[in-house]
């Protein structure tokens, strides 16, 4: 009787340990994706609205939903973060598992209903510093980890962008870009070649690429295309990150220098 009781107790303990391990295990996903979105004041309200609507429409679109379903696990995890100056970063949508049309549309609906920010400053670097740690302890086990940065200007506040970018790339995170080049450069920190700046100073890591946007009417389709390519890990034919050993073709501190010049004047 005593031996039977010990066996039953051991079996119960093994089941309990197994259950705890299952609860503690991270959920496998094909991709952990942070959408890091610029809400600085250089983005007009109409541009911000189109940008937000572009992401909402993308997660309702069959191409994005099919890309998610076609992966080995058939699911991804997405977080939506808004950033501006060094002091403003906010997680609008925390990590959410999307595994089909219903969850994709639910994510889009919540994003559409969320308030829209409009803040001062452009600090891509502090945005990266903010989102980097979110990959740790999030209950997910992604095959790939990607930060997708969209914005309409160079880093001009906070730490230098390469100081924030390089450790993330070294840790295995890929940084992709969506440089928005709709308006003619006119602000104190605006530059002509924002796409080259993003290519040489912002994006990086395995398979990193960018999709420049030069036509406001094509912003939504560019967002959708970029998401499909990120989810499917097929950036072929796009502008890819430059060789890390090559010298940047643009000064990665150009935004900070333009801001300093503007403040002197």
Digitized pLDDT (tens) for each residue of the chain, 265 residues in all: 444 433 433 443 343 333 333 445 899 999 999 999 999 987 778 888 999 999 999 999 999 999 999 999 999 999 999 999 999 999 999 999 999 999 999 999 999 999 988 888 899 999 999 999 999 999 999 999 999 999 999 999 999 999 999 999 999 999 999 999 987 655 566 788 999 999 999 999 999 999 999 998 899 999 999 999 999 987 655 566 655 456 778 899 998 888 787 677 6
Going from N- to C-terminal start, the domains of the chain cover 26-264
> What's this model's pTM, rounded to 2 decimal places?
0.86
Distance CA 71, CA 83 (A): 30
Compute how many other C-beta atoms are within 10 angstroms of the C-beta atom of residue 232.
17
DSSP of 225-251: HHHHHHHHT--TTSEEPPPTTSPPSS-
CATH topology of domain 26-264: Rossmann fold (3.40.50)
The stretches of the chain forming alpha helices (DSSP H) are 2-24, 45-60, 62-69, 101-113, 124-131, 161-170, 194-197, 219-232, 254-264
Q: What is the pLDDT of residue 118?
A: 82
Compute how many other C-beta atoms are within 10 angstroms of the C-beta atom of residue 115.
7
């Amino acid at each position: 009787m005593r031996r039977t009781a010990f066996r039953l107790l051991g079996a119960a303990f093994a089941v309990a340990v197994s259950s705890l391990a299952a609860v503690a295990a991270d959920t496998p996903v094909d991709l952990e994706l942070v959408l890091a979105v610029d809400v600085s004041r250089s983005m007009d309200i109409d541009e911000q609205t189109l940008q937000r609507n572009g992401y909402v429409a993308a997660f309702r679109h069959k191409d994005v939903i099919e890309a998610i379903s076609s992966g080995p696990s058939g699911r991804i995890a997405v977080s939506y973060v808004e950033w501006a100056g060094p002091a403003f970063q906010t997680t609008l949508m925390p990590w959410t598992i999307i595994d089909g049309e219903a969850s994709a549309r639910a994510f889009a609906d919540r994003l559409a209903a969320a308030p829209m920010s409009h803040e001062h400053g452009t600090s891509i670097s502090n945005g990266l510093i903010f989102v980097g740690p979110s990959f740790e302890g999030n209950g997910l086990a992604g095959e790939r980890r990607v930060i997708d940065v969209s914005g309409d200007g160079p880093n001009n506040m906070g730490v230098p962008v390469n100081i924030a970018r390089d450790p993330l790339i070294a840790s295995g995170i890929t940084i992709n870009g969506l440089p928005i080049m709709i308006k003619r450069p006119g602000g104190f920190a605006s530059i002509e070649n924002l796409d080259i700046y993003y290519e040489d100073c912002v994006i990086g890591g395995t398979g990193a690429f960018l999709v420049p946007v030069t036509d406001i009417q094509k912003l939504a389709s560019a967002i959708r295309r970029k998401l499909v390519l990120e989810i499917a890990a097929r950036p072929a034919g796009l502008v890819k990150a430059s060789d890390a050993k090559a010298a940047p073709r643009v000064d990665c501190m150009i935004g900070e220098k333009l801001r300093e010049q503007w403040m002197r004047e």
